[in-house]
Amino acid sequence: MKYLALVYYDEKVMERMSQQEWDVLNRECMECVASLTANGHFITGSPLLPTSSATTVRMRDNRITTTDGPFAETKEQLAGFYMLEARDLNEAIALAGKIPPARYGSIEVRPTRELREEGNQAGGNAGTKPTGNRALTDHQ
Amino acid sequence: MQNLNAHVGKNIDNNTGTSAHNKSESMPPVTRTWLNQFYETESRRVLATLIRLLGDFDLAEEALHEAFTAALTQWPVDGVPDNPRAWLVSTGRFKAIDQIRRRARFTVSYEDIAEQLESELATEDEEEQGIEDDRLRLIFTCCHPAIAPEAQLALTLREVCGLTTEEIASAFLTSTPTLAQRIVRAKAKIRDAGIPYEVPEPEQLPERLQSVLHVIYLIFNEGYSASSGNSLLRHDLAAEAIRLARLLCQLLPDPEVEGLLALMLLQDSRRAARVSPEGDLILLEQQDRTLWDQQQIREGIGLVLRALGSRRFGSYSLQAAIAAVHAEAPNMDATDWQQIVGLYDALLERYPSPIVELNRAVAIAMRDGAEQGLQLIDALLARGALSDYHLAHAARADLCRRLGHLDDARAAYERALTLAQQGPEQRFLHRRLAELAEN
Contact B194 A88 (CB under 8 A): yes
Q: Half-sphere exposure (CA, 13 Å, Cβ side) for B277?
A: 0
pLDDT at A132: 35
pTM over 0.80: no
**pLDDT value at residue B227:** 45
Judged by DSSP in three states, A17 sits in coil
C-alpha to C-alpha distance for B4 and B79, rounded to whole angstroms: 14
Q: Are residues B176 and B158 in contact, defined by beta-carbon separation less than 8 angstroms?
A: no
pLDDT score, position B66: 93
Residue of A nearest to B44 (CA): A135
What is the three-class DSSP state of A77? strand
Tell me the C-alpha distance between B11 and B186, whole Å: 43
pLDDT of residue B293: 96
Confidence at A50, pLDDT banded by 50, 70, 90? very high
CB contact under 8 A, B192 and A139: no
Instruction: Look at residue B305 in the predicted model and tell me its pLDDT.
Output: 95
B180/chain A closest Cα distance in angstroms? 6
**Neighboring chain B residues of A134 at a CB cutoff of 8 Å:** 61-62, 64-65
B331-341 pLDDT, tens digit each:
988 999 999 99
Amino acid found at B103: R
Q: CB pairs below 8 Å between A and B: how many?
A: 69
| Whole-number Å distance between alpha carbons of B349 and B294 | 31
What ipTM does this complex have? 0.77
Tens of each residue's pLDDT in chain B, 439 residues = 333 333 333 333 333 333 444 444 444 567 778 888 888 888 988 999 999 888 888 899 999 999 999 998 898 888 889 889 999 999 999 999 888 888 766 665 666 767 766 666 655 555 555 666 888 899 999 999 999 988 999 999 999 888 889 888 887 778 999 999 999 999 999 988 999 998 888 888 888 999 999 999 988 988 776 545 455 556 678 898 999 999 999 888 899 999 999 999 999 999 889 888 877 778 888 899 999 999 999 999 999 999 999 988 899 999 999 999 999 999 988 999 999 999 999 999 999 999 999 999 999 999 999 999 999 999 999 998 888 899 999 999 999 999 999 999 999 999 999 998 777 788 889 999 998 888 6
Rounded CA gap, B407 and B401, in Å?
Answer: 9
Shortest CB distance from B200 goes to which of A90, A128, A140?
A: A90
Nearest CA to B413 among B392, B429, B426, B425? Answer: B429
**Residue B261: burial class (beta carbons within 10 Å; 0-12, 13-18, 19+):** buried
pLDDT digits (tens, 9 = 90+) for B162-215: 888 988 888 777 899 999 999 999 999 998 899 999 888 888 888 899 999 999
Confidence (pLDDT) at B130: 60
DSSP tag of A87? S
Q: Which amino acid is at B299?
A: E
| Cα–Cα distance measured from residue B284 to residue B435, given in angstroms and rounded to the nearest whole number | 18
